[in-house]
Amino acid sequence: MSLVVQKYGGSSVADAEGIKRVAKRIVDAKKNGHQVVVVVSAMGDTTDELIDLAGQVSPIPAGREFDMLLTAGERIAMALLAMAIKNLGHEAQSFTGSQAGVITDSVHNKARIIDVTPGRIRDSIDEGNIAIVAGFQGVSQEGKNITTLGRGGSDTTAVALAAALDAEVCEIYTDVDGVFTADPRVVKKARKIDWISFEDMLELASSGSKVLLHRCVEYARRYNIPIHVRSSFSGLQGTWVSNEPKQGDRKVEQAIISGVAHDTSEAKITVVGVPDKPGEAASIFRAIADAEVNIDMVVQNVSAASTGLTDISFTLPKAEGRRAIDALEKTRSSVGFDSLRYDDQIAKISLVGAGMKTNPGVTATFFEALSDAGVNIELISTSEIRISVVTRADDVTEAVRAVHTAFGLDSDTDEAVVYGGTGR
């Protein structure tokens, strides 16, 4: 009997009606002859409400107790889901991350899974039950304390359980129909992708696509667990993410370009007038690293021969801008740069596809499309299967649409149909 792991996000179980709808879908999978393990997130806004409560009692709600608090959210959702399944005449048992054997390190609020020992889950499904597991949480190997996995943690729980149980597939249910060639809110003609490789999905995830987080895809790739991203509101096939298309589904060929991603959450810092000599860039980025700022793109032009000075630009999350500027100002005299420029009105647009490795015209087509749309390029950065540019934030919609059309990604229909719930 094949084993399926299903994961339902908070918007799918936002209220009693949602829980009952999801319960029915789970029972259908069981009736179709699968063993079913379900990973569930906290209902709707529960986590935000708990974070708000924590803020009211203490301005520094971090660490062990914060994890203890947040894990109450999944506990509520999973117990209700098990009840709803029992009410449909099927047996279900819910398990905390700890009971499910999700063993993590001791880094509270963003723990990493280091082992999964799903003995209780295996026993439960072998007895004929549907097992419901709390997403986002685990227990630390040392100290046996409750931990949480940080943002997107429930997806990671699902993939990790699927790997440990050798599941046939990990189905990630969400409020959109799958992964699209661009954000359907921006590009009306965006198409749902039927299949995408792990590598392309990883690049999309790190370029601003929100459907799957990088961490979860990385885990699935490592253990070669196929992911099926689909809507909990429709019965449609979603997007398969795997090493290669399913047997018998060879008609799904790898496209040259998988999709266009955009990201408006970053800012750009330019360090102006850096002496062009060894060690200068190292000093700058050591200061940034010591301030625990995560940087993304880094660009340095050749220096002007007349001055021997160069400019170094990089992008980073807007929320970390203040910290980065403060850290850099402290190094001004030792590094000897002229000034700092901070710009948070930028957008990053990325074109992703393994096919670009063997199609030399891709870069040219990309830049031409932007140029024809009157979009100015401020920074460029590339990897083997991705090209990213930084533009003005105001240009992002125009730029994404132009690139999407230029690479023939537009669907034949006028508007992407998304069977979403909350319209997120």
* In the complex, minimum distance from the CB of residue 73 to a second copy, in angstroms, rounded to a whole number: 8
Smallest distance from a second copy to CB 93, Å: 7
Closest CA to 173 of 81, 95, 57: 81
The window from 3-11, 70-78, 210-218, 229-237 that contacts a second copy (CB under 8 A) reads 70-78
Ramachandran class of 89: left when φ > 0, alpha when ψ lies in -120 to 50, beta otherwise? left
CB of 383 to a second copy, least distance (A): 42
Q: Looking at 61, 153, 178, 421, which residue binds a second copy (CB under 8 A)?
A: 61
Residue 68 interacts with a second copy (CB under 8 A): yes or no:
yes
Q: Is 101 annotated as a binding residue?
A: no
For residues 137-156, which are near a second copy according to CB under 8 A? Answer: 144, 146
Nearer to a second copy, 26 or 400 (CB): 26
Q: How far is CA 391 from CA 315, 343, 379, 400, in A?
A: 12, 11, 7, 11
Asked if residues 170 and 239 have their Cβ atoms less than 8 Å apart, the reply is no
30 assigned binding-site residue: no
Closest approach, Cβ 414 to a second copy, in A, equals: 39
**Residue 160 phi, psi dihedral angles, 5° rounding:** -65, -40
Does residue 51 bind a second copy (CB under 8 A)?
no
Least distance between a second copy and beta carbon 68 (Å)? 4
| Max Cα–Cα distance, the chain, nearest Å | 81
CB of 14 to a second copy, least distance (A): 12
Q: Which stretch binds a second copy (CB under 8 A): 49-57, 189-197, 201-209, 322-330?
A: 49-57
Tally the C-alpha atoms within 13 A of residue 422's C-alpha that lie toward its C-beta: 13
- 29, 45, 86, 393: which one contacts a second copy (CB under 8 A)? 86
- The answer to whether residue 278 forms part of the interface with a second copy (CB under 8 A) is no
Buried/exposed 79-99: b ≥16 CB within 10 Å, e otherwise: ebbbebbeeeebebbbbbbbb
In Å, what is the CA distance from 80 to each residue of 2, 19, 55, 382, 386? 26, 7, 27, 47, 43
Binding test (CB under 8 A) with a second copy, winner from 14, 26, 36, 50: 50
Given 33, 59, 89, 360, the residue binding a second copy (CB under 8 A): 59
Tell me the closest approach of the beta carbon of residue 94 to a second copy, in angstroms. 5
Q: Which residues are annotated as a binding site for ATP?
A: 7-10, 174-175, 185, 210-211
Binding interface with a second copy (CB under 8 A) = 16, 19-20, 23, 50, 53-54, 56-61, 64-66, 68-69, 71-73, 75-76, 78-84, 86-87, 92-94, 96, 99, 144, 146
Q: Which residues are annotated as a binding site for substrate?
A: 47, 74
Q: Which residues are annotated as a binding site?
A: 7-10, 47, 74, 174-175, 185, 210-211
